[in-house]
Amino acid sequence: MTTETLIWLIPLPPLLAFFLIVLFTHRSKGLSHTLAIGAAFLSWLASMIVFLRAVRTPELGKYPFESSIPWLPLGEGWFSIGVLVDPLGAATLFFVAWTILMIFLYSVGYHNYGQPEGDHDRPGLPPHGATVVDAHGHPHKVPSVEPMYSRFFAFISLFAFGMYLLVVSDNLLTLFIGWEIMGLCSYLLIGFWYGKPSARAAMIKAFITTRVGDVFMLLGIAYLYSQTGTLNFRAILYNPEVLHALASAPSYISGLSAAALIGILLFIGTVGKSAQFPLHVWLPDAMEGPTPVSAMIHAATMVSAGVYMVIRIFPLLSAGSHHGELTVPMTLMAVIGAGTALFAATIAVAQNDIKRVLAYSTISQLGYMVAALGVGGFVAATFHLITHAFFKALLFLGSGSVIHGMEHGVLHTGDHIDPQNMMNMGGLRRKMPLTFWTFLIGGFALAGFPLITAGFWSKDEILADAFGHAHYGVFITLALAALLTAFYTMRQITLTFLGEPRSRAAEHAQETPWTMTVPLLVLAVFAISAGWVGIPEYFPLIGGLLPNWLHEFVSGTLLEKPKGVEFSLIPLLTSILVALGGIYLGWLVYRNLKAGEADPLEKALGIIYPVLKNKYYFDELYHLIFVRPSVWVSEVFTYLWVDRKLIDGVLHLVSELSIRIGVALRNYIDKPVVNGSGDLVAEVTKSTGRSMRVIQTGRVQQYMIMAVLGFVVLSGVFYFIIQQMGIQ
């Protein structure tokens, strides 16, 4: 099979699985997950083959795998769609395929496959557990299987389809289609347990917030299409003339080139999708979904898609940049990215929900990538995208494993405590060793633990880029954020796994089944080794031992290969220092926390703490300035005032006037004039008749006299008239 054919086929198995499950196999849990995982495996296999072939192709950047077919007939020509795998696509395909497959496998255990049906479980609510009677006749509460098990696999299959479609697309329109399909799936999966009002609110919030970005992106796509007559990546991004034309064409806003405005519009799409400030609010709430979904959204697919898109269009974003100066969209990205990285990290410090900490860390890490791209670090951004996908998927799945273990304890003890609250955990390293060690690896990768972890290498490269290009503001902001990242990550690890259990449930937590731990192990391998492909040559001691393959490979995507920055000790030492410092601080502060004790930070931070805990009150603010006004505008202004009162009022006025005119016509014309004159005729006739009645005596002699009299009078009249005429 040619590679191009294979690429066409990559997205299809999950789509097929989705339809098959929805239409046919949804009654059978086993069949459904077999279909879904089988499909994910096929896509994974095809992706790996494509990846290997891509790696072996010399000058893949110049001669990528591509193929297209005509799709929309427009005017004289056709709009074509197709597939493209260039170095960036191949690298993305690699991490997407791995993480998706692992998440699929993990979901089997997470949703308690093989466990009994719950006692009172109902579709739309998380399973509450089932009672089983053991051999001795004692009832036990055990986890119960998810009532909508098949549906879950159908949805994540569609989700996977969306992501694969996005990655293999050769144009912005099909990329957008995959993008939006993922939007739908995230909506459906965040609200998977739709019976919970909080989940229902979160699903809508996610969809609408990302849609804010999407409508801007749609405009950007329309603009790009009208300017260039195509949406094909290669035709635009690998074509210096087109890029130059875009960079020199004026846009609708003075001072901005068309390239800049298009870039900004598209970037707003990423702000929504990748949860950057100010559209970040949906992501933490997305935790309402089942944990594999969180991993799917936060690592493998959705938010990565946002960053992937801006990396993809980097030549457009940087078009018109001379001598390393930043274009307007790049400046915007650097500011928003760095700001978001720090801003989200500060919030993460004050969260107690194990998944929420990770959610804010995702926002923060995505900020890193956006900022990296903003300062021109194309490779660094890609590198961090890849490593982050692995370790964040690992962390989410690990947290799911923790929650699962805790839920086991909760069911066992019957205590009603929140199994996601880290304050209730502690000491889980002994109960869940596999989860602990893999989580530790993921956490250290996130914190950027030097040399060993993948996160260190990618984060270091971003810092080096920011420093090397003399964007010191960005550098300092990101370094601060890295310090906080290391701190809250270690806080999380300490609170969860170290120390002593702080609740009875934590004492009775249990390691999760192999379907959940195997994905953790696989991802843990990548959370370490994914960094080895990008060790810079200049790195002291170990630099050059392994070739800096990633830089070579990925930069082939661009027309002009970006130059690496000069080595400097400052960013290197900074990243080592902040990582180790943050980890040490996190351990120091939380290692001895006792059950029921307040968070030491609460006292230390004073009034700042509630601000952080409540996420700077953005939800409340947005509710006040966006949600409530739009409800008012809709219900009161548009419907009641404009439509009902004004427009219908005018219509009613017209019809009321018509009726009033009708009534008036009747009262003042019809009745008095028309009817009146008719009545008058009758009345006159009647009264004439009445007055004439006196001569109607019935006597013949009288009539004769009257006839004769009449004859005489008339004859006289005639005679007179004739005479008069004769004279003339």
Partner 1 sequence: MSFLIDHILTIILFSPLAAAAIVFFLPENQEKIIKWVSFALSLIPLGFTVALWFLFDRTAQGYQFVERYVWYAAINSSYHVGVDGIALSMVLLTTLLTPLAILASFNITYNIKSYMVLFFLLELGMLGVFLALDLLIFFVFWEFGLVPMYFLINQWGSEKGEREIWGGIKVPARNYASFKFMIYTMAGSLGLLLAIQMIGVVAGTFDIPTLFERWTSLDRSLFGLDISVVKAIAFWAFVVAFAIKVPIWPFHTWLPDAHTEAPTAGSMILAGVLLKLGAFGFLRLVLPLYPVEAQRYAPTLAFLAVMAIIFGAFASFGQSDFKRLVAYSSVNHMGFVVLGIAAAAYAMGGEDATIALNGAVLQMFNHGLSAAGMFFLVGVIYDRTHTRDLNEYGGLFPLVPVYGGILIFTSMASLGLPGLGGFISEFLVVRGSWPIFTLQTALAMVGLLFTGAYILKGIKQVLHGPLNEKWVGHLSEISPREIFVIAPLMVLMLWIGVWPSWILDLINRAVTALLS
Tell me which residues touch partner 1 (CB under 8 A). 22, 70-76, 122-124, 173, 176-177, 179-181, 184, 187-188, 191, 194-195, 197, 200, 203-204, 207-208, 211-212, 215-216, 218-219, 221-223, 225-226, 229, 252, 630-631, 633-640, 642-643, 647-648, 651-653, 655-656
Minimum CB separation of residue 143 from partner 1 in Å reads 20
Minimum CB separation of residue 221 from partner 1 in Å reads 8
Which residue, 633 or 681, has its beta carbon nearer to partner 1? 633
Residue 609 CA: distances (Å) to CA of 45, 347, 491, 612: 48, 9, 16, 5
Which residue, 71 or 587, has its beta carbon nearer to partner 1? 71
The two structure tokens encoding residue 335: 């500011």
Position of tokens 């196999």?
Answer: 25
The two structure tokens encoding residue 302: 């959705």
Which residues, in sequence order, are bridge partners of residue 169? 83
Which residues, in sequence order, are bridge partners of residue 139? 133
**Calpha distance 235→242 (Å, rounded):** 8
Minimum CB separation of residue 122 from partner 1 in Å reads 6
Minimum CB separation of residue 24 from partner 1 in Å reads 13
Which residue, 514 or 637, has its beta carbon nearer to partner 1? 637
Q: Backbone phi, then psi, for 279, in 5-degree steps?
A: -105, 30
Which residue, 183 or 374, has its beta carbon nearer to partner 1? 183
| 67 SS3 class | strand
Cα torsion angle, 571, 577, 580, 582, sign:
negative
Residue 662 CA: distances (Å) to CA of 655, 667, 674, 675, 704: 10, 9, 14, 15, 55
The two structure tokens encoding residue 290: 């089942």
**Calpha distance 466→326 (Å, rounded):** 12
Which residue, 76 or 560, has its beta carbon nearer to partner 1? 76
Which residue, 64 or 183, has its beta carbon nearer to partner 1? 183
Minimum CB separation of residue 124 from partner 1 in Å reads 5
Minimum CB separation of residue 218 from partner 1 in Å reads 6
Minimum CB separation of residue 495 from partner 1 in Å reads 33
Q: Is the peptide bond before 278 cis (omega within 30 degrees of 0)?
A: yes
Minimum CB separation of residue 250 from partner 1 in Å reads 13
Which residue, 655 or 715, has its beta carbon nearer to partner 1? 655
Minimum CB separation of residue 692 from partner 1 in Å reads 51
- Sequence-separated (6 or more) residues with CB below 8 Å from residue 548: 533, 534, 535, 536, 537
**Calpha distance 279→268 (Å, rounded):** 9
Q: What is the DSSP string of 194-214?
A: TTSHHHHHHHHHHHHHHHHHH
**Calpha distance 669→677 (Å, rounded):** 10
The two structure tokens encoding residue 212: 């804010």
Which residue, 53 or 211, has its beta carbon nearer to partner 1? 211
Which residue, 203 or 583, has its beta carbon nearer to partner 1? 203
The two structure tokens encoding residue 136: 């001795």
Residue 549 has a CB neighbour count (10 Å cut-off) of 13
Minimum CB separation of residue 338 from partner 1 in Å reads 28
**Calpha distance 66→56 (Å, rounded):** 16
Which residue, 50 or 217, has its beta carbon nearer to partner 1? 217
